[in-house]
């Protein structure tokens, strides 16, 4: 680990556990077969420190079945479409 240190001279405090009962990877509550919460800062900083880049939704659902990935992509597309339409109305 160490992209935060190498690139930004920052260091995560080692071994900060997720809150008990929460996912150990993203620190939020979800079923193990579902994607990690890509928007969780806990997840984003741990991922960045390990890989030197911010996680994508593809990273967050890497461990999921193909069926879950397909469903999740549909949901994300709907949400993005809704946000685009909302943005267009607000302009």
Rule CB under 5 A: say whether 61 interacts with Zn ion: no
From 8, 85, 84, select the one nearest 49 (Cα to Cα).
Answer: 8
Give the Cα separation of 72 and 30 in Å (integer): 14
Q: Considering only 4-12, 28-36, 51-59, 81-89, which stretch makes contact with Zn ion by CB under 5 A? A: 28-36
**What is the smallest separation between the CB atom of 11 and Zn ion, expressed in angstroms?**
23
Rule CB under 5 A: say whether 25 interacts with Zn ion: yes
**What is the smallest separation between the CB atom of 48 and Zn ion, expressed in angstroms?**
16
Q: Evaluate whether 50 touches 7 at the Cβ level (below 8 Å).
A: no
């Amino acid at each position: 680990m160490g992209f935060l240190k190498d690139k930004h001279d920052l260091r995560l405090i080692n071994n900060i556990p997720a809150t008990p009962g929460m996912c150990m990877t993203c620190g939020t509550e979800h079923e193990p077969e579902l994607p990690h919460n890509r928007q969780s800062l806990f997840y984003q900083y741990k991922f960045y420190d390990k890989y030197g880049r911010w996680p994508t939704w593809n990273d967050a659902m890497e461990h999921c079945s193909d069926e879950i990935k397909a469903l999740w992509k549909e949901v994300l597309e709907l949400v993005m479409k809704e946000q685009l339409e909302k943005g267009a109305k607000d302009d």
